[in-house]
A and B are shown apart, each in its own frame.
Chain A
Amino acid sequence: MLALTRKKDESIIIGDQIEITILDIQGDKVKLGIQAPKNIAIYRKEIFLEIKEENKAAVQSSINQIKELGKIFKK
């Protein structure tokens, strides 16, 4: 992993379209400003990982069980 040291209000550029700026540093919290093309999704990593795990759990669901549930819960 590339490690760069930056100060408040300094930036890094990734490619020529993504810029990440250190907006603020307080204790162990860093506030980042991110400029990127609008179609690039930017998420906090833990929520993205949570969704990935949830999707993996989803395909383990028992389809037959859901079919049965569908019968119970038909409107």
Chain B
Amino acid sequence: MTIQTKHFGELNIDEGKIITFPEGIPGFPDYKKYIFIFDEEDENSPFCWLQSIDDGSIAFALINPLKICPDYSPKVDNELIESLGEFNENELIVYAIVVVPEDITQMTANLKAPIIINSQTKIGMQVIAQNEEYEVKHKIFNDLQEYTSAKEGV
């Protein structure tokens, strides 16, 4: 199938790669089907996108939280993510949603409420972690700079 998107033009969707969010995402309860978009020109980019299939104008920028918070480990009750279907922990994919305001140095990632996806069942949800130390608006510009320069130093 093909969909029209606001940011990525016309996309050819491999239906086997569709991720279902049975409850939607808070603020967007009616949009339940998404697809990952990775930057093909730049596969080392720390960002990827979660594009809604139901509405081509809706896309979330995501970041692998380990790239900004190396010991990131959200605490979530297992019962809460039961709807993802059976999983081993290493089959779970965890991302943080990124917000980029006009001033990019103020960009933030939501470490309090990660997106968790079961790569086996292709079911996802946004959960609220119990960790008190994780913020909804975690500033990431400096973290990213540190991460990048650390990599360059290797």
Contact = CB atoms under 8 A, between A and B. Distances in A.
Interface of A: 38-39, 41, 43, 47-48, 50-59, 61-67, 69-75
Contacts of A62: 100
Contact of B136 (A51, A56, A67, A73): A51
**Chain A binding site: helix, strand, loop or mixed by DSSP?**
helix
Interface of B: 7-8, 25-28, 39, 42, 44-47, 49, 57-61, 67, 77, 79-80, 82-83, 97-101, 104, 107, 110, 112-113, 126-128, 136-137, 144-145, 147-148, 151
B59 A63 contact: yes
A71 B44 CA distance: 8
A67 B39 contact: yes
Contacts of A75: 44, 46, 67, 147-148, 151
A73 B42 CA distance: 11
A51 B99 contact: no
B46 A50 contact: no
The 4 closest A-B pairs by CB, nearest first: A70-B45, A38-B79, A74-B44, A55-B27
